A and B are shown apart, each in its own frame.
Chain A
Amino acid sequence: SQQGEEDPQALSIQEGENATMNCSYKTSINNLQWYRQNSGRGLVHLILIRSNEREKHSGRLRVTLDTSKKSSSLLITASRAADTASYFCATESGGSNYKLTFGKGTLLTVNP
């Protein structure tokens, strides 16, 4: 079964607005990662947050992690049309288990 579940499944916003996507997971993790996928392409790694971190920033991206609630959020500020893509969270479980388990993804559409 899937570890991560993104919410919402689809999000449509105007250019310049902020976009927030949420992810919930079920078991303990080493880290949580966010990826972007443009239509028909592979996934691109955006940001990794470790289980002992609560917040991380990278450019216009802000990720939070709440291990007590087993949830994470990805905030994209000042969105652009080029941000249109599917966004996935993925978890790497505890121990030496170097496998990523993905959620179902959020399809973000940024309208110009």
Chain B
Amino acid sequence: EADIYQTPRYLVIGTGKKITLECSQTMGHDKMYWYQQDPGMELHLIHYSYGVNSTEKGDLSSESTVSRIRTEHFPLTLESARPSHTSQYLCASLGQGSGYTFGSGTRLTVV
């Protein structure tokens, strides 16, 4: 699990705080994704991007937002965190003719 980095690994914050989860990849991949994984293990696509200045919402509605100003960065922001946002957030990227590469994830707890 390398070449795509997520920070922080763990985050505990209070309700109402604004947070940004960072995701960076060094592989030059155009396509990047954010998945939310609930305690029952299911992964849900919440955002994706096919390149700079391109962002789309995924299959699961999310109150978070993303940006893609540079190829290598795909940060996810929650303007006002709530306990319902407690989850694991996984970032991934896709290169040519390969599987997806995932980061190690950020485990977010909102208290």
> Which of A18-26, A66-74, A75-83, A98-106 lies at the interface?
A98-106
The answer for the CA separation of A102 and B46 in the assembled complex, in Å, is 13
- Report, as a range, how many residues of chain B touch the other chain: 20 to 34
Interface contact tally, CB-CB below 8 A: 64
> Which residues in A have some Cβ–Cβ distance to B below 8 Å?
2, 33, 35, 37, 40-48, 86, 88, 90, 98-102, 104-105, 107
Grouping DSSP codes into helix (H, G, I), strand (E, B) and loop, the B interface class, with mixed when no group exceeds half, is strand
The answer for the CA separation of A91 and B35 in the assembled complex, in Å, is 15
Contact of A44 among B1, B6, B94 (CB under 8 A): B1
Contact A100 B100 (CB under 8 A): yes
> Shortest Cβ distance from A27 into chain B, in angstroms?
13
The answer for the CA separation of A98 and B45 in the assembled complex, in Å, is 12
Q: Return the CB mask of B44-64 against A: 1 if under 8 Å, else 0.
A: 010010100000001100000
Contact B58 A88 (CB under 8 A): no
Contact B104 A42 (CB under 8 A): yes
When distances are taken between beta carbons in the complex, the residues of chain B under 8 Å from A40 are 88, 105, 107
Contact of B102 among A43, A47, A101 (CB under 8 A): A43
The answer for the CA separation of A85 and B52 in the assembled complex, in Å, is 35
